[in-house]
Amino acid sequence: MSTTEGKEKNTVSPPNPLLTTPTTLIGSGHDGTVRDQFRAWIQRIRGGEMGMLPALGGFLVLVILFSVLSPFFLSPINLANLLTQTAALAMLAIALTFVILLAEIDLSAGVTGGVGMASWILLVNKVHVPWGLALLIAFAIGAVIGSFIGYFVAKVGIPSFVVTLGLFLGFQGLNLVLLGDGGLYRVETPEVLAIMSNNLQGWQGWVLAAIIIMITFFTGLYDRRRRQKVGVAVRPFPLLLAKTAAWAAFALIAVGLLNQNRSTSIIQISGVPIVVPLAIAVLWVGTVVLDRTRFGLHLYAVGGNPEAARRAGINVARVRIAAFMICSTLAVMSGLFSASQTGTIEPTAGKDIVLQGVAAAVVGGVSLFGGRGKIIQAAVGALVISSITNGLGLLGLPAGITFLVTGGVLVLAATVDAVSRRRSGSSSLARG
């Protein structure tokens, strides 16, 4: 063996700069000072990675505009109505996010929720199954439908648009068969009706706010310790405190407003609607699944580049099937919220809401091209769509104007998504 070869074998490779040089991670937004973080954020925005910033800006503009035009928009009773109006749409937008991240679509999500709730009401009224067990069966039906869609998309290779469009049409007929032509069933289960019509007690609202604050802080703290454990640089601690303070201010102000008496009669009505903690729980669990699990990492990888994900050893078909199962199951949850709000279940349930769900996700910043977006963005998008409907309704404008404005906002959001994605790709090439 030559001396040169021995030196090559004994040479110690240099340490990984990503683990030893914190400044190399500033561009990714995971280290540096607060000033570095702010500069990196501005750089990402200039590069096209705006996230839900446009949706938040649009929501702020809508709040200011409608509060000026109508003194009732920011009243406690309208804020409570806005939250309940948003719940079903937000749940459907969250459901659709899982498949949109794969650059797929589920046009049957709305009527899937209708099938689930039609099955539920028949089990409760006709078979006399306990409402809780019947609800679990309805969720299971949603999961089976999702697995069916996922199989034909991932295994057979049929485009998701075609499969779900067929189910969108077919499930409307199935609902007619189940409930009867013109059939209308009243929801008489108090626990289900309470989801939209009842409120938490005042102290329960404050407990909810405290839980939100603690989860925000300790989740951030857990992420810091996990990254420090493997030697990866973390964000400055003041940023975690600022994030916690922002959520604390939002939660405390919202609970304070909702705990005010919003009744116009002798009977007092106050408190956070029961649907709010349920929606927050689903939002938190979904965020954990996407941001902190292997499945979430695989979902983003498949949505960004399916072929690269396959070469990396990811079971692409399994990820797609699981995403459609989650989507259909959460669609049943959206149907549950709608049934609780209207107090009825009818054959046409879910027929009109699915496109609004897609619009909400896109308006919030979830990319139709796949691989980019978060669940919280879909929820914010649903809030924007509901604010438009709510505000224009308070102004007494016709429904046609609402559709025109909503359609314009959707086209604008899709344009922002396309332009930002192009700029992001251009920036990546320039940096390379």
- pLDDT category at 21 given cuts 50, 70, 90 is very low
Q: What is the pLDDT of residue 6?
A: 45
CA trace torsion 59, 62, 67, 68 (10° rounding):
140
Q: What is the pLDDT of residue 424?
A: 59
pLDDT tens for 408-419 read: 887 877 777 677
Rounded CA-CA distance 366/92 in Å is 14
Q: What is the pLDDT of residue 237?
A: 82
Residue 30 has pLDDT above 80, yes or no: no
Average model confidence (pLDDT) across the chain = 84
Q: What is the pLDDT of residue 4?
A: 43
Q: Quote the radius of gyration of the chain (alpha carbons, Å).
A: 24
User: In angstroms, how far is CA 287 from the centroid of its own chain?
Assistant: 8
pLDDT tens for 273-295 read: 999 999 999 999 999 999 889 99
Q: What is the pLDDT of residue 31?
A: 54
Q: What percent of the chain has pLDDT over 70?
A: 85
With both helix axes pointing from N to C terminus, report the angle between 294-304 and 275-292 in degrees, rounded to the nearest 10: 70
Rounded CA-CA distance 130/110 in Å is 25
Q: What is the pLDDT of residue 147?
A: 96
Residue 46 has pLDDT above 70, yes or no: no
Residue 427 has pLDDT above 50, yes or no: no
Q: What is the pLDDT of residue 409?
A: 80
pLDDT tens for 221-273 read: 888 888 888 877 777 788 888 889 999 999 999 999 899 888 777 778 889 99
Residue 23 has pLDDT above 50, yes or no: no
Token reading at 147: 């697995």
- pLDDT category at 3 given cuts 50, 70, 90 is very low
pTM comes to 0.85
Rounded CA-CA distance 155/316 in Å is 10
Q: What percent of the chain has pLDDT over 90?
A: 51
DSSP-derived pairing of the beta strands 185-186 and 344-345: antiparallel
Residue 29 has pLDDT above 60, yes or no: no
Mean pLDDT of 323-338: 96
Q: What is the pLDDT of residue 303?
A: 92
Residue 347 has pLDDT above 60, yes or no: yes
* Residue with more model confidence, 429 or 153: 153
Q: What is the pLDDT of residue 413?
A: 75
**13-22, 61-70, 186-195, 314-323: segment of lowest average pLDDT:** 13-22
Rounded CA-CA distance 212/236 in Å is 21
Q: What is the pLDDT of residue 423?
A: 63
**For every residue of the chain, which 3-state class applies, written as one string?**
CCHHHHHHHHCCCCCCHHHHCHHHHHHHCCCCCHHHHHHHHHHHHHCCCCCCHHHHHHHHHHHHHHHHHCCCCCCHHHHHHHHHHHHHHHHHHHHHHHHHCCCCCCCCHHHHHHHHHHHHHHHHHCCCCCHHHHHHHHHHHHHHHHHHHHHHHHHHCCCHHHHHHHHHHHHHHHHHHHHCCCCCEECCCHHHHHHHHCECCHHHHHHHHHHHHHHHHHHHHHHHHHHHHCCCCCCCHHHHHHHHHHHHHHHHHHHHHHCCCCCCCCCCCCCCECHHHHHHHHHHHHHHHHHHCHHHHHHHHHHHCHHHHHHCCCCHHHHHHHHHHHHHHHHHHHHHHHHHHHCEECCCCCCCCHHHHHHHHHHHCCCCCCCCCCHHHHHHHHHHHHHHHHHHHHCCCCHHHHHHHHHHHHHHHHHHHHHHHHHHHHHHHHHC
pLDDT tens for 135-184 read: 999 999 999 999 999 999 999 999 999 999 999 999 999 999 988 876 78
Rounded CA-CA distance 120/126 in Å is 10
Rounded CA-CA distance 343/191 in Å is 12
Rounded CA-CA distance 367/47 in Å is 15
Q: What are the domain boundaries of the chain?
A: 199-272
